[in-house]
Structure 1
Amino acid sequence: MARKGAAATADAGEPRRSSRIKDQAKPDPPPKKAPAKPRSRKPKPTGEEGDESNKEKPKSAAHGKKRTATEKEAEYAQPATPVIPALAPIDVGDSLPSYILKNEQGEDVDLAKLTEGQGAILFSIPKADTPGCTTQACGFRDIYPSFTEHNFAVYCLSHDKSEAQKKWQLKKELPYPLLSDPDRVLISALGAKDAGSGRTKRGHFIFAKGGKLVEKKLPVSPGESPNLALEFVKSLNAKSVL
């Protein structure tokens, strides 16, 4: 009887659990997740250091083809400076060469053809539509018929563009053509380019029929240039008559 009472006392002290719940296996606790490591950005391997997948990737024609040294030099090369042609110096006794200039209309003019059948006077000016140049140009305009009477044509020569020459020609009613020499090729050959400033010197040049230079007045004042040219033409024709 004593054992029975002791067992009863022990059962009274502990809560009674169901044998089914007690016998069930406890579930394993979920595994703990390791904290994520920060991803470091590594430089993309290129060339021989890259993996095989990088090497096997097809490349476009523009990026896959290696440029030659010549192609690289051409890419970074500076634009070529245009070569300005040059004429041999033209002095008294020399003839006008065959060389093309534009007139005020933008038309090609061959210098060698200016003296076919007549003489030609070329007067050089520093810049169109400036006071001194206007005085010189209008002086040749006012006595232009006298030059044609002696079988001489008149041409104004400057580095101005044809458009500027045309505007000036219309403004001052100049009856003769204007020759544009933007690179001062003919101007330099005639000795009318200033070595220091590069500007055009004022002067006039008289070519006889056939193209030979017979008079070179450089420099000359704008007011005297037309009259001096006409006096020389008259004297030249007087000698030919004699």
Structure 2
Amino acid sequence: MPRKAAPADDSEPVAPRRSSRASVVQAAEKKAEELEEKATKKRKAAAEGEKPAKTKKSKAKVDGEEGEGEPDGEEDDSAKLASIDIGDSLPTLTLKNEKDEDVEVSTLTEEKGLVLFLVPKADTPGCTNQACGFRDIYPDFTGLDYNVYCLSADTPAAQSKWQTKKELPYPLLSDRKRVLITALGAGEGGKTKRSHFIFAKGGKLIDKKIPVKAADSPKIALEFIKSQ
């Protein structure tokens, strides 16, 4: 007996499956469109004057001799003195000493000569070397009718502590705004240059050493005075 023919399939033909490669291509195109759109927005914002994000600036460390040169006081442009050079006299200026008392600088040479040595920062290795050098031969200066003073931009409290710790026999002057220090030519960039200045009785500057080595400063100052 002959087989019956299979009934015809009246359903709609099934669409062929899209390949995975086509899907990948389409995704890539979409991503490219998104990137182009973002780039267009950035260009538009730049054209309209939009400010870029601020970047942090690193704070540079100020290097000084043996770590002593970091700014420890203030500089005040409104309180500048005229430069003091050989032959010039001490200016009229009031500073604090290590006891936080007022000292009129112009009076320091009324009765004796003056050795004024400058240090970058109290109670640091090089400065202590210089200060103790003046301490050890202090009687030699006073025997020649010269007073010795230390000058720095440290606070009176810091100077007093250092004076007691190292048994310094002479006064210390605090020039927080580096007014006198700058006039002497030893203040630059918020730092104090190690130096010393010798004033004759009456106030005139007769010798200066700037810069000077910590160990050399006391003996060089004494040798100059003895040569006068």
Place the TM-score, normalised by the shorter chain, in its bin: 0.5 to 0.7
SS in 2 for 1:136: helix
Counterpart pick for 1:226 among 212, 218, 221: 218
Deviations, residues 4-47 of structure 1 (Å, cap 9, x unaligned):
xxxxxxxxxxxxxxxxxxxxxxxxxxxxxxxxxxxxxxxxxxxx
Larger radius of gyration: 1
User: What residue in structure 1 maps to residue 199 of structure 2?
Assistant: 207
Deviations, residues 65-89 of structure 1 (Å, cap 9, x unaligned):
xxxxxxxxxxxxxxxxx87411110
User: What residue in structure 2 maps to residue 52 of structure 1?
Assistant: none
Deviations, residues 87-107 of structure 1 (Å, cap 9, x unaligned):
110000000011100000001
Map 1:136-155 to 2 at 5 A.
136-155=130-149
Q: CA deviation at 1:167?
A: 0.2
Q: Does 2:152 correspond to 1:168? A: no
Q: Do the aligned residues in 2 keep the contact of 1:103 with 1:162 (CA within 8 Å)?
A: yes
Structure 1 CA distance, aligned partners of 2:165 and 2:212? Answer: 24
Q: Does 2:202 correspond to 1:189? A: no
Q: Which amino acid aligns with 2:131?
A: A
Structure 2 CA distance, aligned partners of 1:97 and 1:190? Answer: 10
User: What residue in structure 2 maps to residue 121 of structure 1?
Assistant: 115
Structure 1 CA distance, aligned partners of 2:111 and 2:153? Answer: 27
| Highest RCO, 1 vs 2 (Cα 8 Å, sep ≥ 6) | 2
Equivalent pairs, count: 153
The two structures have a TM-score, normalised by structure 2, of 0.66
Counterpart pick for 2:105 among 107, 111, 115: 111
Structure 1 CA distance, aligned partners of 2:77 and 2:192? Answer: 20
Structure 1 CA distance, aligned partners of 2:173 and 2:89? Answer: 18
Q: Which amino acid aligns with 2:207?
A: E
Q: Percent identity?
A: 65
Q: CA deviation at 1:141?
A: 0.1
Map 1:231-242 to 2 at 5 A.
231-236=223-228
Q: Do the aligned residues in 2 keep the contact of 1:84 with 1:183 (CA within 8 Å)?
A: no
Structure 2 CA distance, aligned partners of 1:158 and 1:150? Answer: 24
Deviations, residues 43-76 of structure 1 (Å, cap 9, x unaligned):
xxxxxxxxxxxxxxxxxxxxxxxxxxxxxxxxxx
User: What residue in structure 2 maps to residue 93 of structure 1?
Assistant: 87
Q: CA deviation at 1:198?
A: 2.1
- Which ranges in structure 2 are unaligned for 5 or more consecutive residues? 1-75
Q: CA deviation at 1:128?
A: 0.2
SS in 2 for 1:232: helix
The two structures have a TM-score, normalised by structure 1, of 0.62
SS in 1 for 2:190: coil
